[in-house]
Amino acid sequence: MPTFRKSGNTSTDNLDAADGMLEEIYASIRSLAAFPRQGHSRPELSSRPLRFQSVRDYVIAYAPEEKPLAVIAVPHGRRNPRVIAAILRERA
C-alpha cells in the first residue's frame, strides 16, 4: 500500500487558498449586485429567469430581478448539468 506524506504547510496553504476563493466569489457577488444583468442566462438549467456568472471553477446562479440580489447556488462548474438543474429546482 502506498504511503503519503503531508508537507508542513499544506493545511495552512489550503485554508489560504479557500479564503482567497471565497473572497473572489464575494467580490463577484458585490459586482453582480451593482450590475445584475452582467451574467448570462442558461435556460437549459432553469425555467426561472436566473443568470449565471463564472468565478474560476465555480458558477454563481442568481436571480437578477430580486432586491437585494438573491444568490441561489454556487456549484462547481464541472458538476453534471442535470445535477445543477436539480439543485436549482430544489431551491425554487
11-54 residue pLDDT tens: 566 888 999 999 999 999 999 999 999 999 999 999 999 999 99
- In a domain, residue 2? The reply is no
The pLDDT score that the predictor gives to residue 14 is 87
Look up the domain containing 60 and give its range: 10-90
Q: Report DSSP state, residue 91.
A: T
Asked whether 64 and 37 are in contact (CB, 8 A), the reply is yes
Give tens-digit pLDDT for 47-67.
999 999 999 999 999 999 999
Confidence (pLDDT) at 9: 57
- Say what the pTM is: 0.83
CATH number of the domain to which 21 belongs: 3.30.2310.20
